[in-house]
């Protein structure tokens, strides 16, 4: 279907434009014919203008047959000249026939009769109006082509974002499996029964993680349930040395989050916070929300004097990039050390409908910009600025190897070479 007739808005706008042209033509006709009033002029001019309006719709097919980017200039001009002459002939014939009908009405004969000069002027106006319609169709074709190209580009960006999210998510499973196998290895000699219980709980945990991890988004209450399950697994290994407090405020359970977004943070809280401490400690995970945002805090004690432990550098960097890819610049990830505690603070928009977005701007561009910003900040760090730049985690106990009195204020990204 014609792209003007296929849209009610475009169709009405097109007919309204020709109504304006007909009104202006009627004013000119009334001025040129002293015996014709404005009402008679409208009766004479408007109907032929509506006929030309539909004739000019054929300009679309002329434009498609002679696209500006492909056809030669001479061929394009020849086609539009011929089409304009045909349109002008049809319009002049419609005008002459219509004025002939009106001339038979009592009292209108002389007022509506066309002279040869007037008929020539009508034909010339018809050619010009057809060419104007051709120009309009070229502009509409360029606009449609631009929209299709933009849609294709957006589709490619969405595919790229999904691939990036899958790659980031793929980092989580090996990271968790590595930590889980390490925990089982530590129990096999000292507590075989505990190692067996841990294997069974790990199997249940992996079954749940496979089910939920395949989703683009899950409910916050499901994510917190996964955190509780993981801490129960680690409790088999650490016993009374590991305590946990997982708190989800009422009304926040339906908020949507990327699956396993808290998993690296809780793993590293245990591995780098609780494990080096002789007496262990408490891992606290708290989720709060208001009408606009969700805030999740992960806190654990650490030993500032403990030697830094090498890690894979997955934690905070992975979490931050996944949040940025989902929520754009509205997502914030900060960490700090204070009074023997290491804390990660996550904030992101509250979304309760799967696939909804809290932004009206392009989320793909916003997410990519946030990720590039994070990477640029990491690459800009001087090698000597962080003693753990060789690949050690900025996790829990000793999130980096700064001097005890050095300021470790909030930062949006993890120190280079490692992350929670």
> What CATH code is carried by the domain that includes residue 294?
3.30.565.10
> Per the structure block, which two tokens stand in for 220?
């916050």
Last residue of a domain, one of 150, 173, 201: 150
Task: For residue 407, tell me if it sits in a domain.
Answer: no
Whether 293 has a pLDDT exceeding 90, the answer reads: yes
Among the residue ranges 172-176, 271-275, 315-319, 360-364, the one predicted with the least confidence is: 360-364
Task: For residue 415, tell me if it sits in a domain.
Answer: no
Task: For residue 408, tell me if it sits in a domain.
Answer: no
Which residue reads 């679309």 in tokens?
Answer: 60
> Per the structure block, which two tokens stand in for 126?
């018809």
For position 407, what pLDDT does the model report? 37
Task: For residue 155, tell me if it sits in a domain.
Answer: no
Whether 324 has a pLDDT exceeding 50, the answer reads: yes
Rounded Cα distance, 263 and 419, in Å: 13
Residues 222 and 111 reside in one and the same domain: no
Task: For residue 32, tell me if it sits in a domain.
Answer: yes
Residues 236 and 344 reside in one and the same domain: yes
Residues 96 and 230 reside in one and the same domain: no
HSE-CB of 184 using CA atoms within 13 angstroms: 15
Q: Tell me whether strands 332-338 and 293-301 are parallel, antiparallel or unpaired.
A: unpaired
- Provide the pLDDT confidence category of residue 1 given band limits of 50, 70 and 90: low
Residues 139 and 206 reside in one and the same domain: no
> Please, what is the average pLDDT of the chain?
75
For position 374, what pLDDT does the model report? 45
Question: At a CB cut-off of 8 Å and minimum separation 6, what does 410 contact?
Answer: 334, 335, 336, 345
Task: Check if the beta carbon of residue 87 is closer than 8 Å to that of residue 55.
Answer: yes
Residues 212 and 339 reside in one and the same domain: yes
For position 110, what pLDDT does the model report? 64
Q: Name the pTM for this structure.
A: 0.47
> Per the structure block, which two tokens stand in for 194?
């505990």
- Provide the pLDDT confidence category of residue 108 given band limits of 50, 70 and 90: low
Domain count for the chain: 2
Rounded Cα distance, 180 and 116, in Å: 96
Residues 207 and 137 reside in one and the same domain: no
- Provide the pLDDT confidence category of residue 103 given band limits of 50, 70 and 90: confident
Residues 238 and 370 reside in one and the same domain: yes
Residues 40 and 105 reside in one and the same domain: yes
For position 376, what pLDDT does the model report? 45
> Per the structure block, which two tokens stand in for 121?
């002027």
Residues 208 and 131 reside in one and the same domain: no
Note down the domain range covering 280.
191-380
Task: For residue 180, tell me if it sits in a domain.
Answer: no
For position 298, what pLDDT does the model report? 96
Task: For residue 346, tell me if it sits in a domain.
Answer: yes
For position 416, what pLDDT does the model report? 32
Task: For residue 176, tell me if it sits in a domain.
Answer: no
Last residue of a domain, one of 150, 177, 199: 150
For position 174, what pLDDT does the model report? 62
For position 159, what pLDDT does the model report? 64
Q: Which one has a higher pLDDT value, 301 or 142?
A: 301
Residues 65 and 13 reside in one and the same domain: yes
Residues 140 and 215 reside in one and the same domain: no
Question: At a CB cut-off of 8 Å and minimum separation 6, what does 84 contact?
Answer: 126, 127, 130, 131, 134
Where does 335-403 have alpha helices with state H? 363-380
> Per the structure block, which two tokens stand in for 347?
């904030």
Task: Check if the beta carbon of residue 16 is closer than 8 Å to that of residue 91.
Answer: no
Residues 213 and 362 reside in one and the same domain: yes
For position 169, what pLDDT does the model report? 54
For position 171, what pLDDT does the model report? 52
């Amino acid at each position: 279907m014609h792209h003007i007739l296929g849209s009610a808005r475009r169709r009405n706008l097109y007919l309204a434009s020709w109504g304006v042209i007909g009104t202006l033509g009627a004013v000119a006709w009334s001025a040129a014919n002293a015996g014709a009033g404005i009402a008679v002029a409208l009766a004479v001019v408007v109907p032929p203008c509506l006929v030309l309006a539909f004739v000019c719709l054929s300009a679309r097919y002329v434009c498609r047959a002679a696209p500006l980017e492909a056809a030669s200039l001479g061929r394009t001009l020849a086609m539009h000249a011929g089409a304009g002459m045909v349109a002008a002939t049809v319009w002049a014939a419609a005008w002459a026939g219509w004025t002939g009908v009106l001339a038979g009405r009592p009292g209108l004969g002389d007022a509506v009769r066309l002279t040869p000069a007037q008929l020539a002027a009508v034909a010339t106006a018809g050619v010009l109006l057809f060419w104007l319609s051709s120009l309009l169709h070229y502009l509409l074709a360029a606009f449609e082509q631009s929209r299709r190209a933009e849609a294709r580009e957006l589709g490619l960006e969405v595919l790229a974002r999904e691939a990036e999210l899958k790659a980031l998510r793929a980092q989580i499973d090996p990271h968790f499996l590595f930590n889980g196998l390490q925990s089982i290895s530590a129990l096999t000699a000292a507590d075989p029964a505990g190692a067996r219980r841990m294997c069974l709980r790990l199997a249940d945990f992996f079954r749940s993680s496979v089910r939920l991890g395949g989703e683009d988004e899950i409910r916050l209450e499901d994510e917190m349930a996964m955190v509780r399950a993981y801490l129960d697994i680690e409790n088999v290994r650490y016993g009374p040395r590991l305590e946990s407090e997982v708190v989800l405020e009422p009304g926040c359970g339906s908020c949507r989050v990327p699956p396993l977004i808290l998993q690296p943070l809780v793993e590293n809280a245990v591995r780098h916070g609780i494990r080096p401490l002789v007496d262990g400690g408490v891992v606290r995970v708290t989720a709060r929300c208001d009408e606009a945002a969700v805030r999740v805090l992960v806190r654990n004690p650490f030993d500032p004097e403990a030697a830094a432990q090498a890690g894979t550098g997955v934690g905070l960097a992975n979490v931050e990039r996944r949040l940025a890819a989902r929520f754009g610049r509205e997502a914030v990830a900060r960490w700090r050390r204070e009074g023997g505690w290491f804390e990660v603070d996550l904030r992101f928009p509250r979304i309760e409908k799967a696939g909804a977005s809290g932004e009206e701007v392009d989320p793909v561009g916003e997410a990519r910009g946030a990720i590039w910003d994070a990477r640029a900040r990491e690459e800009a760090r001087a090698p000597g600025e962080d003693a753990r730049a060789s690949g050690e985690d900025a996790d829990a106990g000793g999130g980096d190897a700064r001097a005890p009195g050095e300021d470790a204020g909030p930062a949006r990204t993890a120190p280079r070479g490692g992350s929670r």
